[in-house]
Amino acid sequence: MNTFKTFFLMVVLTVILVGLGGVIGGKSGAMIAFAVAFVMNFVSYWFCDKIVLRMYSAREITENEAPQLYGLVASLAGRDGLPMPRVYIIENDSPNAFATGRDPEHSVVAVTTGILRILTREELEGVLAHELSHVKHRDILIQSVAATLAGAITMIANWARFAAFFGGGHSDDDEGGNIFTVIIFSVIAAFAAMLIQLAISRSREYLADDGGARLCGNPLYLAGALRKLTAGVERHPMSDANPSTAPLFIVNPLNAGGILSLFSTHPPIEERIRRLEDMAYRR
C-alpha cells in the first residue's frame, strides 16, 4: 500500500509541475517545466551521492580504520543479498546516519562520529539495517526525485509570483493564465508539493523501519536507537544541515519541534517506536 501511495504521489508531483508551467506559459510553459524537471532529475540521479557527501565533508573509511562499523555493514549487506556499500564517517557530534547512491551497486552508508559514541553495538546494527533497507528498496532515488520535483515546483512558483507582480500576465489561454490565476495557482502548487514530498518521505521511513527491524532480527534494537538519537539531536542539532537533505537522515537533523513538527520530513518518533515495539511483541 505504501509503495502504491508513493508512486501515486510522484505522479501527482509531476502533474503539478507540468500544470504550473501550463498556467504560466500555456503549452510551451508546460513543456519547459517538464524539461527543467528532466534535467534536474538527471543530475540528481547521477550525482546525488557525491553532492551530499561533499556537503557534509564525509570521509570514506576502510575495514582497518573502523572494524566494528565496517563489519556490521558487511554482515548485514551479505545477509540481505546486497553488494557491499562504501562506508563513510562524518565528523559531527550530532548522532545521525544516512544512505545515498542511485542503486544498490553504487550505494553509500554514512554515519556521524556522534552516533558511534552513544549507541550500543545492537542499536548501531538496527540503524545500519534501516539504512540498508533504504538501499534495497531504492528509496534514495525515490526521495531524490521527489525532492527535485518539489524543488522545481517551488522554484518555478516563486519565479511566477515575481513575474506576475512585476511583469503582468496574459489572458490568452495558450499564453498562460492571468496574473491572479498565476499567483493563486503558484502558491497552492508550492504548498502541495511540500506536503507531497513530506508524505513520500514519511512513507519510506516507515518501510525502512519495518525492513531494518526484520534484517537485524530484533525491532527493539532500532527502537532503542531511535530514542537515543532523538535525545542526542535535541542536545546537538546539526546546525549546518541543509534542509533539502533532511529526508536522507534516519532522524531529522534539524530538530524541528512544536508546530514545525507538522512539516517534518520524518514521521513522529513516538509512532515509529510504537510500531517497532508492536513488531517485537507480535514475534
- Which tens digits make up the pLDDT trace of 66-77? 999 999 999 999
161 close to 182: Cβ distance less than 8 angstroms: yes
Provide the b/e sequence for 200-239 (b: ≥16 CB within 10 Å). Answer: bbbbbbebbbbbbbebbebbbbbbbbbebbbebbeebbbe
pLDDT at 177: 54
Residue 60, pLDDT > 80, answer yes
208 close to 133: Cβ distance less than 8 angstroms: yes
131 close to 97: Cβ distance less than 8 angstroms: yes
Q: Kindly name the residue from 123, 125, 131, 205 that is annotated as catalytic.
A: 131
- Which tens digits make up the pLDDT trace of 265-276? 788 999 999 999
101 backbone dihedrals φ, ψ, rounded to 5°: 115, 150
Of 246, 233, 280, the residue nearest 95 (C-alpha) = 233
pLDDT band with cut points at 50, 70 and 90 for residue 176: low
User: Above pLDDT 70, what percent of the chain?
Assistant: 84
131 catalytic, yes or no? yes
Residue 215, pLDDT > 60, answer yes
pLDDT band with cut points at 50, 70 and 90 for residue 256: low
53 backbone dihedrals φ, ψ, rounded to 5°: -65, -40
pLDDT band with cut points at 50, 70 and 90 for residue 7: low
pLDDT at 9: 65
- Which tens digits make up the pLDDT trace of 85-141? 999 999 999 999 999 888 899 999 999 999 999 999 999 999 999 999 999 988 877
Q: Mean pLDDT check: name the lowest of 50-59, 127-136, 256-265.
A: 256-265
pLDDT at 216: 96
